[in-house]
């Protein structure tokens, strides 16, 4: 045990010289290749070639233009998956995945409380109820034991997040899903290039969803990609992406449940950028992992700081650096520690995300008018427990343990990462 002494005069919080004054750089991942790709699209004159109708032979297509279709083909090859369907955000991809799986009123979807809010909102878009299972302390991803405790006769799917780029326990989750006849959606927004026992995340369940948001490992500003090996699900995702209600008649498609479509389409400009970004993913991940491994090894002798480690036989790609803080071993609370290291120029933040069930939408049970879908008669027997304490591990991570640094990535260089470790050691 080490009690940290924050009274030392050399610490920046006490007037000492900060170790780092240089600002941390944002997630700049584009360069000349993306500029060339954008100009290629601009010179063509077509910024989008989507059309929301059944037009198999027209220049404007239900499936989009050449950049969109090329991106989808290249994404499928990279991930060794049959179908890739681009969308304008991972949030749209999650909504489309719920719709494609025919989930709706009277159904429950098991979700993580310790992630981005769209994961829990997605079921409610179609009238289903999110049921929050707890997460693992060591990964932040859904705990299979907690999933089992939440299954009811109304459970239809599990929406698993590969949190922080660390693959979830997919063997256990898929075993549960198969035993209970459940569908599995993988949220891979933070896990580009991550692998579970040699297989890319996103390709294990029924549908995988990736993000191309500005903060992600590769990006187009906004955007996303869904993947699946199922022909029917791929077509349903395409219908929901692009005004499916206007297509199904001419296409003679009969199963129109949840097929009222939206405009979730990616532009030719975004697709062209994404094609170049995909080529760089391996290099980005290799450098990011060099940085992460340096910090993990360097913190081994700091007993109160425990970086989340890769799962056995898996490749974790670390969207951020997540560290668990033990205030009993540190002798100070997390807030005091973060103030001290950030005064030195470290730029950490606490908690990651507040457990989603504590948001007003769940506490007040108001989504649509008159409280739907919570108050729908079809959902009257659904599991709706949103009290504080239902997911104690997620709450423990948020309120007292989790530290996050999102700058352990390019365009930072190794000198920046060495300095980050020195700051942590100085305060420790």
- Residues 299-356 have pLDDT tens digits of 999 999 999 999 999 999 999 999 999 999 999 999 999 999 999 999 999 999 999 9
Q: What are phi and psi of 161, to 5 degrees?
A: -110, 130
Cα 285 to Cα 317: distance, rounded to the nearest angstrom: 6
Of 149, 61, 79, 60, nearest to 110 by C-alpha is 149
Place of tokens 């809010």: 117
Q: Strands, E, within 241-326: which ranges?
A: 305-307, 314-315, 321-325
Residues 6+ away with beta carbon under 8 Å from 223? 86, 87, 88, 89, 211, 212, 213, 266, 270, 274
Instruction: Give the residue-averaged pLDDT of 173-196.
Output: 98
Cα 296 to Cα 129: distance, rounded to the nearest angstrom: 39
Cβ contact 65:53 at 8 Å: no
Cα 109 to Cα 107: distance, rounded to the nearest angstrom: 7
Angle (CA) 175 181 185, round 5°: 75
Sheet of 349-350, strands arranged across: 305-307, 321-325, 402-405, 349-350
| Cα 291 versus chain centre, distance | 21
Lowest mean pLDDT, pick from 60-64, 233-237, 410-414: 60-64
Kindly tell me if the per-residue pLDDT of 235 is higher than 50: yes
Cβ contact 62:161 at 8 Å: no
As given in the structure block, the two tokens for residue 69 are 């279709």
Using omega within 30 degrees of 0 as the cis cutoff, is the peptide bond preceding 287 cis?
A: no
Find the helix or strand (DSSP H, E) in which 160 lies.
strand 155-161
Cα 99 to Cα 97: distance, rounded to the nearest angstrom: 5
Which pLDDT score, from 0 to 100, does residue 164 have?
97
| DSSP-assigned beta bridge partners for residue 423 | none
Which pLDDT score, from 0 to 100, does residue 1 have?
46
Residue-averaged pLDDT of the chain: 96
Kindly tell me if the per-residue pLDDT of 280 is higher than 50: yes
Segment 19-41, tens digit of pLDDT: 999 999 999 999 999 999 999 99
Record the pTM: 0.96
- Going from N- to C-terminal start, the domains of the chain cover 32-277
Which pLDDT score, from 0 to 100, does residue 53 have?
87
Specify the CATH number for 32-277; select among 3.40.640.10, 3.40.140.10, 3.10.450.40, 1.20.58.220: 3.40.640.10
Give the 3-state secondary structure percentages of the chain, helix then strand then coil, rounded to 5: 40, 15, 45
Cα 201 to Cα 185: distance, rounded to the nearest angstrom: 11
Which pLDDT score, from 0 to 100, does residue 143 have?
98
Cα 46 to Cα 82: distance, rounded to the nearest angstrom: 27
- 231, with CB counted inside 10 A (0-12, 13-18, 19+), is exposed
Which pLDDT score, from 0 to 100, does residue 56 have?
66
Q: What are phi and psi of 59, to 5 degrees?
A: -60, -40
């Amino acid at each position: 045990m080490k009690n940290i002494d924050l009274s030392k005069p050399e610490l920046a919080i006490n007037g000492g010289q900060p170790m780092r004054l240089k600002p941390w750089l944002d997630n700049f991942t584009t360069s000349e290749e993306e500029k060339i790709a954008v100009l290629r699209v601009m010179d063509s004159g077509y910024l989008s070639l989507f059309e929301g109708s059944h037009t198999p032979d027209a220049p404007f297509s239900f499936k989009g233009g050449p950049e969109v279709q090329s991106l989808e083909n290249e994404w499928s090859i990279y991930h060794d998956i049959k179908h890739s369907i681009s969308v304008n955000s991972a949030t749209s991809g999650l909504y489309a995945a719920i719709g494609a799986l025919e989930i709706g009123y009277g159904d429950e979807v098991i979700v993580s409380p310790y992630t981005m809010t769209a994961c829990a909102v997605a079921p409610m878009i179609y009238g289903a109820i999110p049921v929050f299972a707890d997460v693992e302390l060591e990964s932040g991803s859904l705990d299979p034991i907690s999933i089992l405790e939440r299954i009811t006769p109304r459970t239809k799917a599990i929406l698993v997040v590969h949190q922080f780029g660390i693959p979830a326990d997919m063997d256990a989750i898929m075993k549960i899903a198969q035993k209970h006849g459940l569908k599995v959606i993988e949220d891979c927004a933070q896990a580009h290039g991550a692998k579970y026992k040699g297989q890319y995340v996103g390709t294990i369940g029924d549908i995988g969803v990736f993000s191309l948001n500005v903060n992600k490992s590769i990006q187009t500003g906004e955007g996303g990609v869904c993947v699946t090996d199922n022909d029917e699900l791929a077509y349903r995702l395409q219908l929901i992406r692009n005004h499916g209600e206007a297509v199904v008649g001419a296409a003679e498609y009969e199963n129109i449940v949840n097929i009222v479509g939206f405009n979730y389409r990616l532009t030719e400009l975004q697709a062209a950028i994404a094609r170049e970004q995909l080529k760089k993913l391996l290099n980005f991940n290799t450098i990011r992992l060099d940085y992460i491994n340096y910090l993990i090894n360097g913190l081994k002798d700091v007993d109160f700081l425990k970086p989340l480690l890769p799962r056995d036989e898996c490749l974790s790609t670390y969207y951020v650096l997540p560290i668990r803080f033990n205030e009993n071993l540190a002798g100070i609370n997390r807030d005091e520690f973060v103030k001290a290291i950030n005064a030195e120029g470290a730029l950490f933040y606490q908690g990651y995300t507040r457990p989603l069930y504590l948001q007003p939408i769940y506490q007040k049970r108001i989504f649509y008018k008159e409280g739907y879908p919570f108050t729908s008669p079809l959902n009257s027997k659904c599991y709706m427990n949103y009290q504080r304490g239902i997911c104690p591990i997620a709450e423990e991570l948020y309120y007292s343990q989790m530290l996050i640094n999102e700058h352990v990535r390019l365009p930072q260089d190794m000198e920046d990462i060495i300095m980050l470790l020195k700051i942590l050691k100085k305060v420790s």
